[in-house]
Amino acid sequence: MRARTVRSFFWRLFEQGGSSVIQLIVQVVMARILSPEQFGLLAIMAVFVNLGNVVVQSGLNTAIVQASDATERDYSTVFWMSLGISLVLYLVTFASSTLIASFYRAPDIIWPLRALALVLIVNAYNAIQEAIVARNLEFEKTFRSTVAAGVVSGIAGIWAAYQGAGIWALVFQQLLFQGCKSLVLAVQVPWKPHREFDARRAVVLLGFGWKLLASGLLDQGYQSLSDLIIGRVFTKADLGYVNQGKRYPQALGLMLDGSIQPVMLSAVSRVQDDLVRVKSLARRGLKTSTFFIVPAMGAFALVARPLVIALLGEKWLPSVPFLQMYCITYMMLPIHTTNLQVLNGVGRSDLFLRLEVIKKFVGLVVMLAVTFVIGDLRAIVASYIGVSVIATFINVYPNKRVIGYSYLEQVRDILPAFLLAACAAAIASTLSYTPLAGLPLAIAQVLVMSVTYVALAWLFHVEELSYLLNTLRASTLGRV
């Protein structure tokens, strides 16, 4: 189990890392060609498509991963349910696109939105493929499909942008990415849908999945509401700046944390009856994820300004403060995802849903208060940091009872990463007083912070560094 889990982690890391690097290059090039307003329009369209994706992909596919007795018949049952839902959602989006465009005074998004919504149908099939891969811990297959899709769609999207396609270049790139990913995965995953539907199993899977679906809708709806409010109250360019500031920390967080958590979910699901092992897996996932994410986000925030100027151009400078604030928010990502994945892995989707309701209520109250009382865009984004801190208490609370992993224990486990990252960032920031500037300064600060962080971890015998080195050494010897 340990060997398979470690191997799956590295494949997942390669997938997320390769995809993130490719997507980063593509987004940087397209951001230099297209305007903030066009990215703002994409953010508005993505709100409605992402909500649909939650319905199509969230809940049922996780139920397949979690279920210990899932069969081929279950796969087909979930697929036909997901396909039917995706077709209904596509027709609803198609019909309401004119109302959406009218509300946001953006008539140019009617047909792009209708085209972008086609990903809902593609993802109904792709969700089953990914669930099968996750159940079998075969993440090398998603690595191949994700990287291939990123390269193909990236080249096509950049070409379309250079040809003056505008917002259509972004839509084309998104559609091609999902379609290519599903196609390459279909070549590797032998499963194909059959003409069978088990109503009894559908009820069982829905019994678990509907809570995750509701949780996913709450989460995506909350995030989407923020974009919708900003797009309506402020300008499309403002939304483009906020969205661009969020995009890169989010990609970095998903690359690192997203490499660990799906693997942990599969591992926890396999030992869910042994709570001692579940807690051990949770601690390992939390500490490993935090060890990577905290210094990465700290370095990103430190070099945000010169990096944005060098890569995106000065027209994107207003996105810098938003990027830095999102870096702080995403530092807390591991404590959220670890605790929620534990609840999923042991079959407590009821607690998962309850937590989402509480968190989104708190977040919504704070967001509306800041938006309509203060009315400042930076204050709105800054409030997400406070909400994220509150959410850590909410997410951790049930696991003290479920697996005996308290908030104090979790703070002790992640505190070394925060302290070492703060010290490393302070040392790297002194380079601002040297003659270096722009991209050379950013590169130098990242290098100094990285070396300092690892050196301090080694000097103070941080357990996580020792674990990672021992695991790499064991994996190398195993291959030899």
- Tell me how far the alpha carbon of residue 123 is from its chain's centroid: 16
* CB-based contacts of 462, cutoff 8 Å, min separation 6: 291, 416, 420, 456
Q: Which residues of 280-308 are buried (b: 16+ CB within 10 A; e: fewer)?
A: ebbbbbbbbbbbbbbbbbbbbbbbbbbbb
Please state whether the predicted TM-score (pTM) of the whole model is above 0.75.
Answer: no
DSSP-derived letter for residue 437 is -
CA dihedral 469, 473, 474, 480 (to 10 degrees): 160
Structure tokens at 301: 């925030």
The closest of 112, 240, 204 to 167, measured between CA atoms, is 112
Structure tokens at 61: 């596919």
Cβ–Cβ < 8 Å for 411, 457: no
- Ranges of each domain in the chain: 34-233, 259-480
- Tell me how far the alpha carbon of residue 387 is from its chain's centroid: 18
Tens of pLDDT, residue by residue over 332-363, are: 988 888 888 777 777 676 777 788 888 888 88
* CB-based contacts of 393, cutoff 8 Å, min separation 6: 407
Tens of pLDDT, residue by residue over 129-176, are: 877 777 676 667 777 888 888 889 889 999 998 888 888 998 998 899
What is the C-alpha to C-alpha distance for residues 23 and 25, in angstroms, rounded to an integer? Answer: 5
Cβ–Cβ < 8 Å for 64, 131: yes
Structure tokens at 206: 């829905």
What is the C-alpha to C-alpha distance for residues 136 and 139, in angstroms, rounded to an integer? Answer: 8
Mean pLDDT of the chain: 81
Cβ–Cβ < 8 Å for 97, 113: yes
Residue 439 backbone dihedrals phi, psi, to 5 degrees: -65, -40
Distances in Å between the alpha carbon of 462 and those of 209, 288, 417? 39, 11, 9
**Angle at 283 (CA atoms; ends 282, 284), nearest 5 degrees:** 90
Q: Is the dihedral of CA 346, 207, 82, 352 positive or negative?
A: negative
pLDDT at 281 over 70: yes
pLDDT at 476 over 60: no
pLDDT score recorded for residue 288? 83
Tens of pLDDT, residue by residue over 425-450, are: 999 999 988 888 888 889 999 999 99
